[in-house]
Amino acid sequence: MIASRVFSSILNSHHRLSFWWFSLLFTVTIAAEETPITRIAFGSCANQSAPQPIWDAINNFDPQLFIWLGDNIYGDIRRPLTVIGKERTFGPWKNTPRFVPSSEEEMKLRYAKAKANPGYSRLQRKVKVIGTWDDHDYGLNDAGKEFDRKVTNQKLMLDFLDEPLDSPRRKQAGVYASYTYGPPNRKVKVIVLDTRYHRDPLRSDGSILGDTQWDWLEKELRGPRSEITIIGSSVQVISNLSATTGPLFYMESWGRFPKERKRLFQLISDTKRNGVIFISGDVHFGEITRYDCSVGYPLYDVTSSGLVQSVEKVFPRPLRSIVRLLFWYTPSTMRVINDNCKFKSCTYGQQNFGAISIDWNANPVIIRLEIRDVNGHTVLGTNVSLSELQPGGSNSLKDATTKGKSQRYCTLEIELPGLIRYRLAVLIYFTIAVLAMAILGLIIGGVLAITACVYKCKVD
């Protein structure tokens, strides 16, 4: 009898202990869900075969969320730049593609190498990681809906992100997704788009997202309210530098699909979605751009590229100052120019990551948009009041049609006068012409000198 009472007492104590642990766990879970998001990191263009010291800076920033914006690995194969020979990969006479897809096994190996990086592994253990893809992890440079390995590569990409096996992303055509974080009145919605799976060919001015993804995006933007909505695109949304770098070279962006970009801005306006901020990658440099004349409040696009690949990395160190000079000389009507830039051009062509910090306790709430370098130092940055990101919220927009600072963010690059728009091409072609003439002059001078010398020798 005594033994029965003891056993019963122990059993009751066990139940009370279990209930206490369950209550504590439930409380902790709810508290975690209610924690406001204050620090978000993001980036793109991380060549898995190169050193990746930037993860230390990202870990030191201590984000609560990390967002991949594409080229999470370089999965395709890049052939050497060959101008002459049997297989020519460059020039109007090229007969061989510069980029070719990898096999499924090779893609798996490259993803495994990226995932095993110690810095990234440390981040993944403590931070929620989400994201989308771009062309090189999609499987082929500049590829769109025509790419025939996209179904297989979608599975590999979602495996890399540890997407649950029952996730809707594994059943849909494309890797687009949305997430909501934070308690009421401090909610942050993150939408990551797929700008590859359904994209029509470049120069077609067709669709980027495809009908199904457009319908999904409209539902997301019409959905429950959030104070901030971050839209992640693998390619730039606001900037269209191709309008000013052509015909020298072209970059992928929403600006090269003007109907689609106009549709995106119109959708944000029609759904009355406030607090929208874009983040993007792809271009191998960092910049912050802004457009005031589309949805009734300023739209910002924070471009972080790349975590490893960067435009200055391609050039020898003595020539990097020339790259910065060309950045400065290239006209850009959308780039945010302020005192928080490391270089005068307000672009950053070295390894970088993007950072968003939200001060919910400020009145009004302040959003800090930054590009940070490999040491974690801010190289580009701007503060945005959340009260500005709603129609009529920015005083600077009230006189947007008048001359002044705000007018600068209302002119698309493609609308610039011809001499300004193409001044980079004029400079480069002029420089090439001068160099060619100088070389030709040296050759002619050399020939004349040799001829004179030969003639003198004969006379002697």
pLDDT tens digit sequence for 309-336: 999 998 898 889 999 999 999 999 999 9
- Cα dihedral sign, 409-325-136-87: positive
pLDDT mean over 80-98: 83
Which pLDDT value is given to residue 394? Answer: 54
| pLDDT band, very low/low/confident/very high, at 33 (cuts 50, 70, 90) | low
* Together in a domain, 109 and 147: yes
Q: Where is average pLDDT lowest: 198-202, 320-324, 406-410? A: 406-410
Structural domain includes residue 19: no
Query: What's the pLDDT at 335?
Result: 96
Residue 34 — very low, low, confident or very high, per pLDDT cuts 50/70/90?
Answer: confident
| Residue 294 covered by a domain | yes
The string of DSSP codes covering 202-238 is: TTS---SSHHHHHHHHHHHHHSS--SEEEEEESSBSS
What pLDDT sits at residue 460? 64
Nearest residue to 74 via CA among 309, 378, 280, 351? 309
Residues 273 and 124 in one domain: yes
**Pair (369, 459) in one structural domain:** no
pLDDT band at 347 (very low <50, low <70, confident <90, very high): very high
Whether residues 455 and 340 fall in one domain? no
The predicted structure's pLDDT at residue 23: 37
Domains held by the chain: number: 2
Q: Residue 10: inside a domain, yes or no?
A: no
Instruction: For residue 414, tell me if it sits in a domain.
Output: yes
Range of the domain at 257: 34-421
Entry pTM: 0.88
CA angle 363, 365, 368 (to 5 degrees): 130
16 domain residue, yes or no = no
pLDDT at 294: 94
251: left (phi > 0), else alpha (psi -120 to 50), else beta? beta
Same domain assignment for residues 364 and 257: yes
Q: What does the buried/exposed string (b/e) look like for 434-459 if buried means 16 or more CB atoms within 10 Å of the residue's CB?
A: eeeeeeeeeeeeeeeeeeeeeeeeee
Q: Both 442 and 356 in a single domain?
A: no
Q: How confident is the model at residue 26 (pLDDT cuts 50, 70, 90)?
A: very low
Domain CATH number, residue 189: 3.60.21.70
Same-domain pairing of 310 and 429: no
pLDDT digits (tens, 9 = 90+) for 93-127: 888 889 999 999 999 999 999 999 999 999 999 99
Which pLDDT score is estimated for 91?
Answer: 77
Of 419, 397, 422, which Cα lies nearest the Cα of 410?
397
Tens digit of each residue's pLDDT (9 = 90 or more) over 154-199: 999 999 999 999 999 999 999 999 999 999 999 999 999 999 999 9
| 439 and 382 housed in the same domain | no
- Domain match, 48 and 58 both: yes
Among candidates 250, 130, 241, which has minimal Cα distance to 192? 130
Judge if 60 and 203 occupy the same domain: yes
